Structure 1
Amino acid sequence: MSRRVTPALLASALLTAGLVGCSADARKAESGQAPVAPSSVASATPRVPAGSAPQRAFAVGVRQLKLNRDGRALPVTLWYPATGDAGGAAKRSAAAAEGRFPVVMFSHGLGGRPDDYATLLTRWAAAGFVVAAPAFPHTARGGDGNVLDVLNQPADVSYALTQVLALDGTAGDPLRGRLDADRVAAAGHSAGGVTTIGLFTASRDERLDAGVVFAGTALGVGTAFAGAAAPQLFVHGELDEVVDYAAGRAAYDKVPWPKAMLSLPKGDHGRALLNDGAALRVVSDTSVEFLRWTLYGDPAAKGRISTDATRGDIATFDDHL
Structure 2
Amino acid sequence: MRLPGSLLRVAGAFLVAGVAASPALAVPRYERIRAPARVKLDDRQQTATGRAAVRIANRGSAPTVFADAAAFTAAVRLTADALKGPIVCAPVGIAPAVAQRRFPLTVRPGQSRALRYDLTFTCGANPDRKPDWAFSVTVDHVALDGNADENPTNDTCPRAPTASDRGCGVAGPGYTRLAPMSDVRDARAGTHFELPGPYGVGETSLVLVDAARPTMPNGSFPGAPDRTLPTAVWYPTAPDASGPDATLASNGRPFPLVVFGHALGSYNRQSTFLTTHLASHGYIVAAPDFPLSHLDAPGGATIADVAAQAGDVTFVIDSFLGFASDAGNRFAGGIDAERIGLTGHSGGALTTLVTTYDQSLREPRIKAAVPFSPPACFFQPGYFDAVTVPLLILQGDHDLLVDAVGDAGAAFARANPPKALLLVHGGNHIGFADAGGGLDDSFVCRLFPDRTDLAAQIAVMLETLGGAADHVALDGCPSAYCSGDAAHIDGRRQQQIGKEAALAFFEDVLHGDAAARHYLDTLAVRNPDLTLSLAR
TM-score range, shorter chain: 0.7 to 0.9
2:499 matched to which residue of 1? 284
- Sort the Cα spacing of 1:285 and 1:309 in 2 relative to 1 into closer, same or farther, 3 A: farther
Deviation, structure 1 residue 296: 0.9
Deviation at residue 310 of structure 1 after TM alignment? 4.4
The 2-side partners of 1:272 and 1:159 are apart by 25
Match of 2:402 among 227, 239, 243: 243
Alpha-carbon distance in structure 2 between the residues aligned to 1:288 and 1:165? 22
Aligned to 2:363: 205
- Cα distance in 2 for partners of 1:306, 1:105 equals 24
- Against the structure 1 CA distance between its residues 216 and 269, is the aligned structure 2 distance closer, same or farther, given a 3 Å change threshold? same
The alpha carbon displacement at 1:272 in A equals: 4.0
The corresponding residue for 1:178 is: 334
The answer (yes or no) to whether the contact 1:286–1:309 under 8 Å persists in 2 is no
User: Alignment partner for residue 322 of structure 2, among 134, 153, 166?
Assistant: 166
Contact persistence 1:194–1:221 (CA under 8 A): no
Cα distance in structure 2, aligned partners of 1:278 and 1:218: 24
For 1:247-276, what per-residue CA distance to the aligned partner results, in whole angstroms no more than 9, with x for missing partners? 111011111120111101201113243236
1:91 and 2:243 aligned: yes
Aligned alpha-carbon RMSD (Å): 2.0
Residues 112-149 of structure 1: per-residue CA shift (max 9 Å, x gap): 11211112110011111111111011111111112211
Deviation at 1:165, TM superposition (A): 1.4
CA deviations 1:207-247 (Å, max 9, x no partner) are 01110010103355656226663110000111111111121
Matched, 1:225 2:384: yes
Mapped to 1, the partners of 2:261 and 2:307 lie a distance apart of 13
Paired positions, count: 265
Are 1:75 and 2:234 an aligned pair?
A: no
Q: 1:204–1:227: 8 Å Cα contact kept in structure 2?
A: no
Asked if structure 2 preserves the Cα contact closer than 8 Å seen for 1:283 and 1:309, the reply is: no
**Amino acid across the alignment from 1:248:** A
| Alpha-carbon offset, residue 319 of structure 1 | 1.9
For residues 141 and 243 of structure 1, what CA distance do their matches in structure 2 show?
Answer: 19
Contact 1:206/1:228, CA 8 A, preserved across alignment: no
Aligned twin of 1:295: 510
Q: Is the CA contact (8 Å cut-off) linking 2:234 and 2:286 kept in structure 1?
A: yes
Contact kept in structure 1, 2:342 and 2:368, CA below 8 Å: yes
Identity of counterpart residues, as a percentage? 30
Tell me the secondary structure at the aligned position of residue 357 of structure 2: coil
Change (3 A) 1:207 1:56: same
Choose which of 199, 202, 207 in structure 2 pairs with 1:66: 207
Change over 3 Å in CA distance of 1:137–1:309 after alignment to 2? farther
Any unmatched runs of 5+ in structure 2? 1-192, 214-225, 438-490
Does the 8 A contact of 1:198 with 1:218 survive in 2? Answer: no
The partner residue of 2:262 within 63, 83, 108 is 108
Tell me if structure 1 keeps the 8 A contact 2:293–2:302.
Answer: yes
Change (3 A) 1:229 1:166: same
Structure 1 residues 146 and 278, CA, compared in 2 at 3 Å: closer, same or farther? Answer: closer
Higher relative contact order (CA 8 A, sep 6+): 1
* Map of 2:414 onto structure 1: 254
Equivalent position amino acid for 2:235 in 1:
Y
Is the contact between residue 271 and residue 432 of structure 2 (CA under 8 Å) also seen in structure 1? no
Find the residue that maps to 1:121 and give its secondary structure.
Answer: helix
Q: Which residue pairs with 1:155 in the alignment?
A: 311
Whichever structure has more strand as a proportion of its residues is: 2
TM-score by length of 2: 0.47
Larger Rg: 2
What residue in structure 1 maps to residue 431 of structure 2?
Answer: 271
The alpha-carbon deviation at position 59 of structure 1 amounts to 0.4
SS of equivalent residue, structure 1 residue 111: coil
Residue pairs, 1:304-315, within 5 angstroms: 304-315=519-530
Structure 1 stretch displaced more, 64-73 or 131-140:
64-73
Cα distance in structure 2, aligned partners of 1:74 and 1:290:
27
Question: Distance between the aligned counterparts of 2:518 and 2:433, measured in 1?
Answer: 24
Counterpart CA distance in 2 for 1:303 and 1:118 is 26
CA distance in 2, matches of 1:309, 1:172: 45
